[in-house]
Amino acid sequence: MAEKFDAIVVGAGPSGNAAAYTLAKAGLKVLQIERGEYPGSKNVQGAILYAQALEQIIPNFRDDAPLERHIIEQRIWMLDDNSFVGTHYRSDDYNKPPYNRYTIIRAQFDKWFSSKVREAGALLICETTAEYLLMDGDRVTGVHCDRMGGDVFADVVILADGVNSTLARKAGFHGELSSKNVALAVKEILFMPEETIQARFNIAEDEGVVIELMGTVTEGMVGTGFLYTNKDSLTIGVGCMLGDFKSNPNKTTPYALLEKLKRHPSVAPLIEGGEMKEYCAHLIPEGGFNAVPRIFGDGWMIVGDSGGFVNAAHREGSNLAMTTGRLAAETVIAAKSAGMPLNAKTLKAYKDALDDSFVMKDLKKYRHLPDVLESSPQFFTTYPELVNRAAKTLFTVDGIDKMTKQREVTGSFKSARRLSGLVSDAFKLWRATR
């Protein structure tokens, strides 16, 4: 009675869809199992779509994928309590198709992506939870689901079950998620007329802006905020390391932090009048390179958030998810067409492909960043304050001569961090990002 497939993909988020689509397109018999009511119901993202990653899977996705705005301007703001110093990059090149990044609304995007997966021939069942992996010794042979007759078998099981993944943990492939390796982020979608958004952000129809926010808004916790323009709504959110929320003496909750961000005098006017129509939270694996677990074995592979494939420094996650999903599928397809068994030896090619790609290269580059930031709250408190104060000093014309002002600025840095501290901070940053 129990059926056998070429591959079972657990999860219908971006990495699961990427894997299932690629496999089905190659003619393999694929079953995709999603625990939510519909694909995307358990997913939360900023959300930014990285075209390059999706192009590799569905080259003509632009034909019918639901896309909000293509991004033409990136703003990075360093905030203190009532001001910010920002860097903007805007280019008309970003207005030349094909566009590089888009804002999306996940509920609609996931629905579209999943319809493509089904069109490609994969079978999708929802409201079904894969409870544990079926094993034959060390080899994974299938999954057991929470329905009667819930055993299904496959030559390979691809775990795309997200940051809260329990399957791998239950099977002993990796340990519990540590609170220092995961961030908790909350976001809201605020509805407002297209024209208002365009006027406020200085963009035309279809053009979009991304604002990354950091500074005192996270109360010294390691984290960032973000504000994205969708077609007729704005997404605003903030996330910090879970461990930091736990040890925050103010016991500020994530939603309280978001409220604070929304009230910031530089942020509030941008979101004024918006009506909240979605409100959600999610965990993001941010342990980086050192937190990536074993990602393959006899008859199994891990893709997406489940494998911790998130580049927190650049806030990239969905492109890594899609890329890992695709590379895992390609590994399986290659092995199958060469008649090879899907054991650890063969599937190692997946890890090799990842190491060769931007996925592991980027994670490796920033592998020290989590530790550095964790031990250096000054980057989130002192420096934003100093930088903002410096800007205020230098930009305020009040009869004080410029030399005095300059000395005041350098003096403030030295007294806050001492020369040795400044040097050490610079070194830390360099080391963390080289």
Beta bridge partners of 275: 191
Q: How far is the CB of 422 from other proteins (least distance, A)?
A: 47
Which two tokens mark 247? 């040890």
Distance between CA atoms of residues 103 and 71, nearest Å: 7
Distance between CA atoms of residues 85 and 234, nearest Å: 22
Span from 10-18, 122-130, 210-218, 383-391 in contact with other proteins (CB under 8 A): 122-130
State yes or no: residue 3 binds other proteins (CB under 8 A).
Answer: yes
Span from 77-85, 132-140, 251-259, 272-280 in contact with other proteins (CB under 8 A): 272-280
User: What is the dihedral sign for C-alpha 303, 308, 309, 310?
Assistant: positive
Alpha helices in 137-213 (DSSP H): 167-170, 194-201
Q: How far is the CB of 66 from other proteins (least distance, A)?
A: 10
Distance between CA atoms of residues 262 and 359, nearest Å: 33
Span from 34-42, 211-219, 334-342, 380-388 in contact with other proteins (CB under 8 A): 34-42
Span from 132-140, 150-158, 180-188, 376-384 in contact with other proteins (CB under 8 A): 150-158
State yes or no: residue 123 binds other proteins (CB under 8 A).
Answer: yes
Q: How far is the CB of 84 from other proteins (least distance, A)?
A: 28
State yes or no: residue 145 binds other proteins (CB under 8 A).
Answer: yes
State yes or no: residue 249 binds other proteins (CB under 8 A).
Answer: no
For other proteins, the closer of residues 9 and 31 by Cβ is 31
Largest CA distance in the chain: 87
User: Are β-strands 123-125 and 130-136 bridged in parallel, bridged antiparallel, or unpaired?
Assistant: unpaired
For other proteins, the closer of residues 151 and 206 by Cβ is 151
Contact present, 154 and 195 (Cβ < 8 Å) = no
| CA angle (152, 307, 120) in 5-degree steps | 50
CA distances from 203 to 73, 206, 262, 265, 351 (A): 9, 8, 21, 21, 41
| CA angle (185, 178, 215) in 5-degree steps | 40
Q: How far is the CB of 160 from other proteins (least distance, A)?
A: 18
Q: How far is the CB of 81 from other proteins (least distance, A)?
A: 25
For other proteins, the closer of residues 8 and 332 by Cβ is 8
State yes or no: residue 426 binds other proteins (CB under 8 A).
Answer: no
State yes or no: residue 59 binds other proteins (CB under 8 A).
Answer: no
- When binding is defined by CB under 8 A, the residue of 29, 41, 344, 357 that contacts other proteins is 41
State yes or no: residue 124 binds other proteins (CB under 8 A).
Answer: yes
The residue assigned the tokens 């119901």 is 41
State yes or no: residue 229 binds other proteins (CB under 8 A).
Answer: no
For other proteins, the closer of residues 103 and 323 by Cβ is 103
State yes or no: residue 121 binds other proteins (CB under 8 A).
Answer: no
State yes or no: residue 105 binds other proteins (CB under 8 A).
Answer: yes
State yes or no: residue 191 binds other proteins (CB under 8 A).
Answer: yes
- When binding is defined by CB under 8 A, the residue of 64, 88, 91, 125 that contacts other proteins is 125
Q: How far is the CB of 257 from other proteins (least distance, A)?
A: 20
For other proteins, the closer of residues 28 and 390 by Cβ is 28
Residue 176, number of CB atoms within 10 A of its CB: 7
Residue type present at position 258: L
Distance between CA atoms of residues 383 and 417, nearest Å: 9
CA distances from 384 to 38, 213, 241, 396, 407 (A): 42, 11, 19, 18, 19
Helix (H) or strand (E) holding 395: helix 382-395
Span from 8-16, 179-187, 247-255, 269-277 in contact with other proteins (CB under 8 A): 269-277
In the complex, which residues of this chain contact other proteins (CB under 8 A)? 1-3, 31, 37-38, 41, 105, 107-108, 123-125, 128, 145, 147-152, 191, 193, 273, 275, 277-278
